[in-house]
Copies of this chain bind each other. A is one copy, B any other.
Amino acid sequence: MPGYRVTSMAFSERVSRLKSSLIREILAAAQRPQVMSFAGGLPAEVMLPKVDWTDMPLSIGQYGMSEGEPALREALAAEARRLGLQCEASQVLVVSGSQQTLDLAAKLYIDKGTEVFLEAPTYLAALQIFQLFGADCITVPLEADGPDLVQLRTRLAQHRPAFIYLIPTFQNPSAVRYSEAKRDAVAALLDEFGVTLIEDEPYRELTFDGGSATPIVSRLKTASWIYTGTVSKTLMPGLRVGYLIASPDLFPHLLKLKQSADLHTNRVGQWQALQWIGNERYRQHRSELREFYRGRRDAFQAALQTHFADLADWNEPQGGLFFWLRLKQPLDTRTLLNDALANDVAFMPGEPFFPEPDKHHGYLRLNFSHIEPARLDEGLKRLAAVVRQAQIDKAA
């Protein structure tokens, strides 16, 4: 290899905010087959549906529209209306996984120092991309039934955020689902203060008690909004097909940003998604998924009771893919990682899910969907032992 010059002085200022690769390292380590991983957010592989490609027309190979396939946009709009979200297909933009919605939103709103509101904790990759673009991330504490409304009002009175980013249904990482009352209250506050809402709902369909509250965006009267969803949790993440639905004032900008990002979402994945969205087969598959994950959730809850009852508190999640544990004796859970991996167990420390990690020690995010049941008990037992040892070491 030739000796490359040091060129990093020529990088953008934004690159100095690219986060360390802690999470990538955890997930890479979790790839080793012997590792019992609670770290990722992967669907269970056995539940990936059998898909058929035989009828896909060759013309799908051609360039497509930046907006997405017209029939898919219609189908997604119809599904959203069934959820109570009044919208037209013209407001639907098919994106390359709902992660791309965050990229487009960051481009649309964030300059260096732009204030944005987030839940604490919040989705790690959202936090990372908003910070990459230079956002000043202001948080609202999350309670068991949604955000602390007093704090939300206080912050709204003090700041002018470009938007608020919320995951009201089985949040990643906390598994919190907002109550009806808090959904209404949040919508009213955002209308009152004229703050745009970005509502991220990847987990909506993975509900274990049948609950289905309408999206917060559907309760807004005047505020602008972006609603985003995906087929990643209910069909196949490898397709990289997500969507956003936006209020008409935002859509044209998001469309241009999508075009400049990657021209359009891959049409093969869009075609496959269209074979499912809105039909009986998809309803059946989602019903089976819920059944399957409910079983895994139950088994996980039981194993947690066995191994973590004396170590941590948690709420049993009613949907989604995660348990969120709070240690009774808080410590920086990042310091547990090496020992856990040495014992072939991977988990996600809670600190990186907060903009100020060092003010929020003692949380662990545990994925319950992906681990094989046969290894669940052993994995949690080992993880509990790591926590116990760390607390002994700390006390010593």
Residue ranges of A at the interface with B (Cβ–Cβ < 8 Å): 1-8, 10-15, 18-19, 21, 24, 40, 42-43, 45, 48-51, 53-54, 56, 58-64, 66, 95-97, 99-100, 103, 107-111, 114, 125, 128-129, 132-133, 160, 162-163, 194, 196, 220-224, 232, 235-241, 247-250, 252-253, 256-257, 259-269, 272
CA–CA, A163 to B5, complex, Å? 14
CA–CA, A111 to B112, complex, Å? 10
Q: Choose among B15, B49, B61 the residue that contacts A236 (Cβ–Cβ < 8 A).
A: B61
Cβ–Cβ < 8 Å partners of A7 in chain B: 194, 196, 224, 249-250
The listed residue with most B CB atoms (<10 A of its CB), out of A3, A248, A263, A266, is A266
Tell whether, in the assembled complex, residue B62 and residue A43 are in contact, meaning their CB atoms are under 8 Å apart.
yes
Tell whether, in the assembled complex, residue B237 and residue A62 are in contact, meaning their CB atoms are under 8 Å apart.
yes
Cβ–Cβ < 8 Å partners of A13 in chain B: 111
Tell whether, in the assembled complex, residue A18 and residue B97 are in contact, meaning their CB atoms are under 8 Å apart.
no
Cβ–Cβ < 8 Å partners of A247 in chain B: 4
Can you report 25 A-B residue pairs in the complex whose CB atoms are below 8 A from each other? A2-B221, A2-B222, A5-B224, A10-B163, A10-B196, A12-B108, A15-B108, A21-B256, A24-B66, A24-B256, A43-B62, A43-B63, A45-B62, A48-B59, A48-B61, A51-B61, A53-B54, A60-B236, A62-B236, A63-B237, A96-B96, A99-B260, A100-B262, A240-B263, A268-B272
CA–CA, A163 to B13, complex, Å? 15
Tell whether, in the assembled complex, residue A261 and residue B100 are in contact, meaning their CB atoms are under 8 Å apart.
yes
CA–CA, A215 to B194, complex, Å? 52
CB distance from A47 to the nearest CB of B (A): 10
Tell whether, in the assembled complex, residue B53 and residue A53 are in contact, meaning their CB atoms are under 8 Å apart.
yes
> Contacts A63-B237, A108-B15; is A4 near B261 (CB within 8 Å)?
no
Tell whether, in the assembled complex, residue A97 and residue B262 are in contact, meaning their CB atoms are under 8 Å apart.
yes
> Contacts A12-B111, A18-B257, A24-B259; is A238 near B1 (CB within 8 Å)?
no
CA–CA, A11 to B21, complex, Å? 30
Tell whether, in the assembled complex, residue B109 and residue A12 are in contact, meaning their CB atoms are under 8 Å apart.
yes
Cβ–Cβ < 8 Å partners of A272 in chain B: 268
Tell whether, in the assembled complex, residue B42 and residue A62 are in contact, meaning their CB atoms are under 8 Å apart.
yes
> Contacts A8-B249, A269-B266; is A99 near B2 (CB within 8 Å)?
no
Tell whether, in the assembled complex, residue B100 and residue A238 are in contact, meaning their CB atoms are under 8 Å apart.
no
CA–CA, A221 to B4, complex, Å? 8
> Contacts A99-B261, A194-B5; is A266 near B248 (CB within 8 Å)?
no
Tell whether, in the assembled complex, residue A266 and residue B249 are in contact, meaning their CB atoms are under 8 Å apart.
no
Cβ–Cβ < 8 Å partners of A235 in chain B: 61
CB distance from A297 to the nearest CB of B (A): 20
Cβ–Cβ < 8 Å partners of A109 in chain B: 10-12
CA–CA, A63 to B224, complex, Å? 32
- Chain B's closest residue to A133 (CB) is B12
CA–CA, A15 to B252, complex, Å? 11
- Chain B's closest residue to A12 (CB) is B111
Tell whether, in the assembled complex, residue B224 and residue A256 are in contact, meaning their CB atoms are under 8 Å apart.
no
Cβ–Cβ < 8 Å partners of A221 in chain B: 2
